[in-house]
A and B are shown apart, each in its own frame.
Chain A
C-alpha cells in the first residue's frame, strides 16, 4: 500500500514537472523542473528495484549534465522570447514524435510483440539472486564488451572534436609554469646592490623597464629573469 502511494506521488510529480518544463516562462525554472523530473524518474526506478540505474541517473544526469544546462541557461544571454516564436514552426515535428512515442506506449500495453524470436536471444539468463549492479556489470563488461568499448570510442572522438573546435592557442597568452616557479631560487630573482648617495636608478642599470636589456622577454613576467648585468654599475663587488 505504501509502495503504491509512493509510486503515485512520484508519477504525478514526474508528469506535472515534465509539463512545466515545456510551459515555464523562465528558462531557469524549466531546467529546475527538468531536474525534478529526473529525480522522480530515479524514484520510479528505485521502486522497480533498479537501484543502480536510479542512482546513476541522479549522479550523471542530475549531478553533472543538468548542472551544465543550468550553467548555460544562466550565463548565456539568449533571447528566449525570440526562441519562443519558433514554437509554431516546430510544433508539427514535436507532435509527430509525441504521437510515435504514444503509439509505442500503447503497443507495449497492448502486448504487441514486433519480433517474438528476440526474447530467446539472451546470452544467458541472469540468476535471480544477483544484485542488479552485478547483473549490469556482467552484461556490459563481459557479454557486450566490444559494443561497450566501441561506444566509448565514439564518445572519445566526440570529446577530442569538442576540444579541437574550442582550443585556440594564443601565442601571446601569459602562461604560468609551475615547475619553473617552484625551482626558482633567491639568486635568480634578487640582486643585492650598494647604492651610493646621489646615484640614480638609471646609473645602476636596474631601472624598470630594464633599459639595459632591450631583448628582455616583456611577457615572461613569472619565469626567472636573467641576472642583470651590473658590471658597469656599482655592484656588490665594487663596494668591497
Chain B
C-alpha cells in the first residue's frame, strides 16, 4: 500500500516534469521569438548577438534576472509582495496538468478538465491583485485594479464560448473535446466564437492590444512596477506560460488538438504531439502579430468591447447553437 502510493507519486512527478520542462523551454524561446518576430515586422534586427543568431539570448536574460538583487520596497507588505509573483507562476504551471497533447496523453485526464482550466485562469487575477496591493504604490495598485476588472469582464464571454463548444461535445473532458472534432474542427462551424475566443484570450493574458494593466505610457509598468530580478522574472515567465496555455486551449477547443488537418496518409504519419505543437505555435505567432499591428485600446473601449459587444454576441450564438442542435436532433446526448 505504501509502496504503491510512492510509485504513483513519483510517476506523477515524472509526468509533470515531462510536460513542464518543454513548456518552460518553449517559454524561454518565445521571449526570443517574440523579439525576433517583432523586429522583422518593424524592419529591425532584434537580438542577434548572444550565440548563433542570438539563440543564447534567453539564457543570458535568465542569468541576468537570477543574479540581480531582489528589492523589496520599504512600505511593502513583505510576505504578500513575494507571494504575488509566486502565485502567478504556480498557477501558470499547474494548469498544464490537464492539457492532452495526444490521445489520453495528459498528466490528469479528468472528467471536468475544461472547468479546471477555467478555474485556474480565473485565479490568475489574484497574483496580480496581491502584487499590486502589496507593493504599496499607486501605479501598481491602479494596474492591479485595471487587470482585475479586465480579466473578470472577459472571462464572462469566454465562459459562453466554452459552453457553446461543450454543447457540441457533450462532455467536459478535454480529450473528448478533441475527439469530437474528428469530422470537422470547431473553428469552422463556430467561426465567430473562435474569433471572440481568440480576442478574449488576448485580454485574459493581458497582451497587446489589451495590455492596459502594464500600460507604460500611463502607469509606468502597472502591477509589477516595484518588482526586480527574479520576482519580476516570475511574472514574465507566468505571462508567457499563460500565453502558451491559452493557445493550447484554443487549439483544443477549436483547432482539433493533436488531430491532423486532413485524415489521410501523409498527414497522419506526423505524430499527434507535433501537430499540437504546430497549432500552438501558430496561435503564439498570432499573439506576436497582433502586438506588432494594433495600438493599445483605451480602457473604456476595452470594457465596451467586453460587455457590450462580445457578451451579447456570444450569448446569441450560444442560444443559436443550442436551438440548431436541438432542432436537427444533433445534441450529443439524448434528453432524458
Contacts and interface: CB of A to CB of B under 8 A. Distances in A.
Contacts, number: 63
B1 interface: yes
B269 interface: no
* B interface, size bucket: 20 to 34
A17 B198 CA distance: 38
Interface stretch (B53-61, B110-118, B226-234, B248-256): B110-118
Given A51-B112, A63-B155, A71-B148, A28 B126 contact: no
A133 B123 CA distance: 22
Contact of A64 (B9, B133, B152, B336): B152
Contact of A178 (B118, B122, B304): B304
Contact of A55 (B1, B80, B115, B300): B115
B129 interface: yes
A56 interface: yes
B126 A35 contact: yes
Contacts of B130: 32
A66 B112 CA distance: 22
Contact of A59 (B111, B122, B126): B122
A60 to B, nearest CB: 9
Contacts of A75: 145
B90 interface: no
Nearest to A35: B126
B125 interface: yes
B119 to A, nearest CB: 4
A74 interface: yes
A124 B300 CA distance: 50
A55 B126 contact: no
Contacts of B80: 32
B2 interface: yes
Nearest to B79: A29
B172 interface: yes
B152 to A, nearest CB: 6
B111 A62 contact: no
A63 B145 contact: no
A70 B129 contact: yes
A64 B122 contact: yes
A67 B110 contact: no
Contacts of B335: 142
Given A1-B5, A71-B148, A133-B172, A63 B122 contact: yes
A1 B2 CA distance: 8
A156 to B, nearest CB: 14
Interface of B: 1-2, 5, 8-9, 80, 110-112, 115-116, 118-119, 122-123, 125-126, 129-130, 133, 141, 145, 148, 152, 155, 172, 300, 304, 335-336
19 contacts: A28-B133, A32-B130, A35-B126, A51-B112, A55-B116, A59-B115, A59-B118, A62-B119, A63-B125, A64-B122, A64-B152, A64-B155, A67-B125, A67-B126, A71-B148, A74-B129, A75-B145, A138-B336, A142-B335
Interface of A: 1-2, 28, 32, 35, 51-52, 55-56, 58-59, 62-64, 67, 70-71, 74-75, 131, 133, 138, 142, 176, 178
Given A63-B155, A133-B112, 12 more contacts: A28-B133, A35-B126, A52-B112, A59-B119, A59-B122, A62-B123, A63-B122, A67-B125, A67-B152, A133-B111, A133-B172, A178-B304
